Amino acid sequence: MAISTDNEEENQLMQKIARVLDETRASNATHIRKLKELTALRSSSSSSSPTRFLSAFSKTLTPLFDFSRRIASAERIVRFVAAFAVTPDSKNASVSDKFLEGFLRFLLGAAAAANKTARFRACQIISEIIMRLPDDAEVSNDVWDEVIECMKLRAVDKVPVIRTFAVRSLSRFVNDSENVDILDLFLEVLPLEQNAEVRKAIVLSLPPSKATSTPIINCTLDVSESVRKAAYCVLASKFPLQSLSIKLRTVILQRGLADRSAAVTKECLKLLKEDWLGKGCNGDPIELLKFLDVETYESVGESVMRALLNADLVKVQESQSIRQLLVLSGTTNQGHRTQGIQLLEPEVALYWRIVCIHLQTEAQAKGSDAAATMGTEAEVYAAEASDSNDFLERILPATISEFIELVKAHLDAGPNYRFSSRQLLLLGAMLDFSDTTNRKVASSFVQELLNRPLEYEVDEDGNKVVIGDGINVGGDRDWANAVSQLAKRVHSAFGEFEEVVLGVLQGLVLPCRERTADFMQWMHCLAVAGLLLENTKSFRWMQGKSIEPAELLQSLLLPGAKHVHLDVQRVATRCLGLYGLLERKPSEELVKQLRLSFVGGSSPISVMACKALSDLAVWHGPQEVDKAMGQVLSSQLRDHATTFCPVEISDTSGHLNIELLDLLFAGFDKCDGGKYEDADENESVHAVLGEGFAKILLLSENYRSIPASSHPLILAKLIGLYFSDETKELQRDVYRELLFQLCVCYGRASMMMQAPLYAKESETVDINGGKDLPGTPDGSVHPSDDFENGNEGLAIRIATEVANFHMKKKAAAEKSYVSALCRILVLLHFRSSEQGAIKLTRRLLNRVAETVAAEKDVVKELKRMAERLKVVDEHPDQDLSLDDANAILGRLELDLDLNPDDSTEMPPTPAPRSTKPTRSRRRARQQEESSSSDESSACSVVPTNPGVTSTRSQRASKTAALTKMTTANRAVKFNDYIEEEEEGGGSEVTSDEDSGESDQSSE
């Protein structure tokens, strides 16, 4: 009888709780009043039985754990329940504390359930409770430990929305020194997480520290706009300007201001304006530039200034100008007043240059608007343009002489003011040189800049060492560009620029002709010649001047390429390449000299000659460059060879008999020797050759003389160099970028498929051009000595690279990359003597096929490759032992876990899916619309009477079972909404709208 009474009391209590919850789901406005009502009910119920209220409350809330749709009414109930759980009892605090602990244990049980909806709701409520819980809440440490451990498990749940709420729950504990494992977990799963919303939650949860700054900044390159935006939000709120290194500051601004999303750029600009400029620099843009090291990161400083000016955040006072630098000292010298010039710091010089450019652009834009309109509007635009021009004139030096004097003062101040000198020199493009007198003064200054010798130091042995690159005027490419811009601005008439530079060159070349010049004079003369050749558009403007183009070639460039000093040869070789680009057809002497420099020169000279030959091949076409030789040349690439026999190009007497592409291709192998070791780790013959051949492949439609059969051979060489152990990391980055472009190109066009690399099955061709019989006497599985350099080693490297993507969700770019690698893999041929490589590749092809299972055409090609390898395999029924396989992988320095159960047989093609149409969600939506009380019936937490619930008939149950058996993946249930989010959110290219739709799939 007592049990019956207790059940009645519990049912009555559940009804009261259910009525409160049903009223709270309608509107948030009722939450405060209902919190008081439910708190009073808890207080009164707990006085008789402390656990009765918790039991009734949990049972009443149970239907919510079976409802997965994230509609507004359900979310209101979740928020109300969390608010109630953390609301203390004003009369008896122990009652609310015990209820909170008991309710958390109830939620932990649901969070560990097998049902994904129950886990989802439990994690959602736990995260809301943790976010709302006051700091002084009394909860035992054991309960918190259980909560943390449970949420750590749910942070790697298979359902993205569960992972999101688990991360949100753990975010409050990540700052505790006792919970370092939470931070380690976040940093571990962040780069591996596939769902954008989960990544966003992790980024927002990371605390500020040295360990988290780099991962957060890496997220500024995330494919999801919301994640990138969250990264900039965290950087603004948690990382002060002074806490970041200069490198990290510039990376943040460079990426954010150039982001493709306007929302991300706006967030970055907000960080720049409010936090870095406002709080960190007190609104002073020059002070901000000092934090960015504009001498090293000039482009970032320019972007920052443009962004601030466009946002109208830089207020230039009319009293401020460059003219203030020219201050009258007040002293006299024989009746004349002398001037003292205040030198500009690098940040101030960059600041004024960008401000002046902005004013000039603004004036031109307003002037164009005035010309395009009429009436009062045109007058307004014209007045604004006039104001900008007047302001610009007040900032710039008053005369050309003052401008020149200002630049000279900074030049004379030494190398510390070289950057400021260049910024001032670039301002010359805004000055007016229409006056003859001004133009004459400026021309004299330009000639003085061109005649300025290269700077040098003297080493311990008394030898001169050039400061700078030794190639450009002033030893710096940026300085040379500034000089050329000023020269072309002053001498803007057709042919006038060439005439002035050739006039300067005439005086510099005289000691070189007379062979009295030292190597410094040679390099200076060639640097001026390079500036001319780089900036002139045609030899036509050099005709009839003080030095003819042919004379320049014969008297300076060719003798410089044969000079005894290596630095002179390097500069002259660069000038030869520029000269060849201006010729209508390459000259014989020029091409021969470049080929000689490529073959017989030292590493820096070979790099420069390689650049020149590659540029000539791309500009004129390989066939035109070969015609310049005036003789019949042989070519393995043109003769449709599937392999390339090594060419001995070190013999200078024989290298001229092969075509240009063969010569360059042979340079890949020759550069492996010690003769072409790279002097500069940022630049190598390999990298230049790779870039040149990549351009030729991408523009192959323009070069009909290059047979399509040579494309796979060239591409295989580029891929082999990327995977080579001898390739340096800096060079590998170059190849990675090149291969990405090529893989996308060839992955779409499948051009290589026209010319497979496989030889006939009966006889295979080795990499040396010899013929192998289809077998070996001993059937050895041990690789040969040149195994790493052959196509077999390359094939295993590619297969391993693709296999590493096995069982991993791939982004769109990764899918294209893997697919293109597979298309290359099927083109590689094997020598029958390499039985071990054949057997290992057959084993790896299974993983490769599973990785690209969605690409049906690629899978077909892989199966054909497997069949071909099976024919070449002498013992196809015998598998390669695990030790032998690991030995081959170890020799290639590859890391791959092989399964002893892996089969060499390709899996059969899966049966086609049922053609029965997928049942859409429209039926569920129609049911939703037809019910006038959808939210009342779907979200109601009032426990229903099991006896009233209608059951399905036996026929309906049988039909549902059959449908589930045939189209299991197509059944639509309420619980499937979370599963759909798991599948839809797996791609990194899912947009924010899609992610939001997956989270609120039925709102």
Per-residue pLDDT reduced to its tens digit, 587-645: 999 999 999 999 888 889 999 999 999 999 999 999 999 999 888 787 777 665 545 56
Task: Please choose, from the candidates 725, 753, 623, 606, the residue with its C-alpha nearest in 3D space to the C-alpha of residue 666.
Answer: 606
pLDDT at site 339: 54
Q: What is the DSSP letter of 634?
A: B
pLDDT at 978 over 60: no
User: Which H helix or E strand runs over 326?
Assistant: strand 326-333
Predicted confidence (pLDDT) at residue 106 exceeds the cutoff of 90:
yes
Distance CA 639, CA 329 (A): 78
Q: How far is CA 255 from the centre of its chain?
A: 10
3-state secondary structure of 94: helix
pLDDT at 732 over 80: no
| Predicted pLDDT at 723 | 66
Q: Picking from 168-172, 623-627, 767-771, which range would have the lowest pLDDT averaged per residue? A: 767-771
Q: What digits encode the pLDDT tens for the residues 718-729?
A: 777 776 655 665
Average pLDDT, the chain: 80
How large is the angle between the packed helices 856-872 and 835-851, nearest 10 degrees?
160
Please report which residue ranges of 810-905 form alpha helices under DSSP H: 812-825, 835-851, 856-872, 882-891
Contacts 24+ apart (CB under 8 A), 167-171: 167/198, 167/201, 167/202, 167/205, 168/127, 168/130, 168/131, 168/201, 168/205, 169/123, 169/126, 169/127, 169/130, 170/205, 171/201, 171/204, 171/205
Q: Which two tokens stand for residue 570?
A: 């390097």
Asked if residues 594 and 553 have their Cβ atoms less than 8 Å apart, the reply is no
Reported as type and span, the H/E element at residue 458 is: strand 456-458
pLDDT at 703: 84
Per the structure block, which two tokens stand in for 630? 């005036």
Beta bridge partners of 456: 466
CA–CA gap between residue 776 and residue 764 (Å, rounded): 13
Q: Helix 246-257 and helix 225-238: axis angle, to 10°? A: 140
User: What pLDDT, on the 0 to 100 scale, is given for residue 743?
Assistant: 58
Q: Is the pLDDT at 907 greater than 70, yes or no? A: no
- For residue 870, the model assigns a pLDDT of 87
- What pLDDT digit, counting tens, does each position of 468-498 carry? 888 999 999 999 999 999 999 999 999 999 9
DSSP string, 229-297: HHHHHHHHHH--GGGS-HHHHHHHHHHHHT-S-HHHHHHHHHIIIIIIIIIIHTT-HHHHHHTTTTTT-
Binning pLDDT at 50, 70 and 90, where does residue 711 land?
A: confident
Cα 149 from Cα 137, distance rounded (Å): 20
Q: Give the whole-angstrom CA distance, residue 998 versus residue 992.
A: 10
Q: Poorest-confidence range of 103-107, 121-125, 943-947, 950-954? A: 943-947
**Band of pLDDT at residue 776, cut at 50, 70 and 90:** very low
**Secondary element (H or E) of residue 338:** strand 336-341
